[in-house]
Structure 1
Amino acid sequence: MSGLFITFEGGEGAGKSTQARLLADHLRGLGLDVDLTREPGGTKGAEALRDFLLFGGHDLSPRAEVMAHFAARADHVDRRIAPALAAGKVVICDRFTDSTEAYQGHGLGNGDPALLDMIARLRALVPAVPDLTLVLRVPPAIAAARMAERASARTDRYEALDTAFHARVAAGFDAIARRDATRCRRIDASATMDAVQDDIRAVVAPYLKRADNA
């Protein structure tokens, strides 16, 4: 089986991390070798950058913040994702380049064309492209309720931003899903955890067959 690269995307409260973990457990149960990882993070250096970006109290310029995310991504791809794919593993990543476009380009950058162009040029340098991206979508009210339920957890700087920011992020993900409709599949994540996972498994199943025949 050749490597298969699946990414999970979506705004806060969409349940990405939970659904990525459930899918990884399911695929392992099928006997597949799965590497479940996340961004920013996934390697020692990238995790250090994650802590800085999410909790460091910094005030980087928009361009500098984008570059910091891609620096973490470069280490993650070079040291973990690319080797895992080369070894024939299924790599499941909680966030990837689409999150940088949605959060930094649309959310923080308000869709600034120059910033989006910079992100596109940096994306083109990343030697790993997802085979499938699952974009989880939930209405704002459900997302807010889910975020409130985990209020005791450590809140990162993006979660703490206002509703206008999160609306721009959601619009950014919708724009990405429309533009890259072959790679991206939108998932209604407002249903129960099990129902959402069933929908995800149905979308993923054909990709497993394609990879098995590669």
Structure 2
Amino acid sequence: MVNLLWLFLMLSGVIIAMIKGRAEAVTAAVLEGAKTAVDTSFGLIAIIAFWLGVMRVAEAAGLVEFLSRLVRPLVRLLFPGLPPNHPAVGAIILTLAANILGLGNAATPAGLAAMREMQKLNPHPEEATPAMCTFLALNTACLTLVPTTVIGIRALYGSREPAAIIGTTILATACGMTVAVLADAVLRRFYPKSK
């Protein structure tokens, strides 16, 4: 559906530009958009590579393990159906840690690994388990303490204070995560998993 919407928007833009005799504006916009995308991508590659390196150093220094010990009781509370030392728990913690540090790109592989591990415990593979739903809600609306990617984009485009968004980001993501966890808990009571 989204692909059809994009196709409609692009075709209607080209057709209207041709009707108005401004086809060169479409070409100029395409080239400018492509240039902006490449420039932004190169800037983001540097930022993401740096923070992924920081994440690796933190992992090697034991910081991720320390964080996982701190967060493990909360994970046990939110995911009571998972065995305590199951590989999914570690992947969930790593995903949450990456999201908290604003590294959504680094969180993706760990999130996929967590879902694969939870699927192995799923007695009904065609349905999502409650743990999968909780993880999806948490992953989508996770608390972010340092929005590294957004700070990098703001710095890339010349913001005088690229880190000025940290306070509002913490507040907004804390509210979002709280609502996601509460909605997950409330909806689970109203719509229990079918046996």
The TM-score by the shorter chain falls in which range?
A: 0.3 to 0.5
- TM-score, normalization: structure 1? 0.30
Q: TM-score, normalised by structure 2?
A: 0.32
Kindly indicate whether structure 1 or structure 2 has the higher relative contact order, using CA contacts under 8 Å at least 6 residues apart: 1
Determine which structure has more spread, i.e. the larger CA radius of gyration: 2
Tell me which protein shows more strand as a share of its residues. Answer: 1
